[in-house]
Structure 1
């Protein structure tokens, strides 16, 4: 990655310029058997569409706080980078009542109703499927995102020194996030081209760093595993080998 990158969105742009075809996020859900692999280019396309939805249809502005009530999931990673692209402060597992808008998975819809602003719901079904019946009072992400533009340009430049992420009591600016992500990659021994398997939840800086930001910061990739505790040890060993994992965090 480039030394001049100061926001997560900068990191993604650099990854796209360097090698758009390489894998970036490989997602497993060991409760459903789902596996999804996204190249840098495919992931960036989802981010662009989601950022356009966020900035356009949802009228989010830099500095707005978004409560992100989602588990460790590839679509959660997309939303984190979409927020960074717009300049929205992503408050992971934050209080919806204190947020300008909320993005919720199916298990947090009741809590999400406390938000007085825009509400977006994700079904988290395989292949990005929509809700069979859209929840009342919410925009169904899977319905709205496909029609969004494939390229994104923010209405205003993103300030790298503004709050970008809150998680588990830690609040970081975009610049501080990038710096800490690089440091975390070094601590984990993650090198460019490496593959990090993470079974950590997206509810702390450690989980978010391992499950997205550290691999992105150094030109590596992540094998993000939800419900990893359901996987037998021999199956985990097989996955580690087949996915060419170089670092494991559980």
Structure 2
């Protein structure tokens, strides 16, 4: 299990640094969409590269500084994980709701009306091949088009463990709640955790994603789950634990 002697003050660093040092090539997120047949697998290194691109995007393109608020209205998806980790790497506070005071909203196209009052909006297509969203309104950024030009390395500013990271919770609290959730669910660093849950609330996100990352486990996330495929997938993915 990764060393969790205390928060560094940067949630992404707390979650990724230990596994990057230990085994950067081992899969951390394996994403399935049973409606489309998609399967995407990301190592810790690949996940960190995507997070770095997102962190550079929000800092350099949108000009956000540590402490800025970002509204994230996205489903349980590997790109959502990259967005969240990128925002936290940049020292931003994520809110999982439409927030008129947000400095930036990251959403899918069907949620645009919910963030009409946001200062800036970026839309994710969640397409496996990085296709952009077509016919976006003027002034709305296409995430897939913009993020690919940004670097895959990121050097965060000095971090404050007391700074808000997730819906008002400070970094150290989110990390501790994630570790507590992992313990309650019986997750360890050697587990492959199968989950079909959503990340629409703070507790859902902590239980379904952050608890897995916090102990250095790997996640098999299934969207639009076909129950007839789950048992075979448990065997093929060598799943050792489940999150309903």
- TM bucket normalised to smaller: over 0.9
Cα shift readout 1:161-195 (whole Å, capped 9, x = no counterpart): 111002xxxx4211011111111111111111211
Q: How far did 1:8 drift?
A: 2.3
Gaps (5+ residues) in structure 2? none
1:224-239 equivalent positions in 2, closer than 5 A: 224-228=221-225, 231-232=226-227, 234-239=228-233
Q: 1:221 aligns with which of 218, 222, 233?
A: 218
Give the 3 Å change call, closer, same or farther, for CA 86–132 of structure 1 in structure 2: same
Alpha-carbon RMSD across the aligned residues, in angstroms, is: 1.5
Aligned to 2:30: 26
Residue 77 (structure 1) aligned with residue 81 (structure 2)? yes
Q: 1:211 aligns with which of 208, 212, 237?
A: 208
Q: How far did 1:52 drift?
A: 0.4
Q: 1:55 aligns with which of 32, 52, 59?
A: 59
Question: Does the 8 Å CA contact 1:106/1:124 hold for their aligned counterparts?
Answer: no
TM-score normalised by the chain length of structure 2: 0.93
Question: Does the 8 Å CA contact 2:11/2:165 hold for their aligned counterparts?
Answer: no
Give the 3 Å change call, closer, same or farther, for CA 21–5 of structure 1 in structure 2: farther
Q: How far did 1:136 drift?
A: 3.0
Question: Does the 8 Å CA contact 1:23/1:39 hold for their aligned counterparts?
Answer: yes
Q: How far did 1:111 drift?
A: 1.4
Aligned to 1:124: 126
Aligned to 1:90: 94
Count of matched residue pairs: 240
Residue 141 (structure 1) aligned with residue 143 (structure 2)? yes
In structure 2, C-alpha distance between the alignment counterparts of 1:180 and 1:51, rounded to whole Å: 24
Aligned to 1:201: 198
Give the 3 Å change call, closer, same or farther, for CA 65–209 of structure 1 in structure 2: same
Aligned to 2:104: 101
Aligned to 1:17: 21
In structure 2, C-alpha distance between the alignment counterparts of 1:159 and 1:128, rounded to whole Å: 34
Give the 3 Å change call, closer, same or farther, for CA 135–223 of structure 1 in structure 2: farther
Moved over 4 A (4+): none
Q: 1:186 aligns with which of 183, 187, 197?
A: 183
In structure 1, C-alpha distance between the alignment counterparts of 2:123 and 2:182, rounded to whole Å: 32
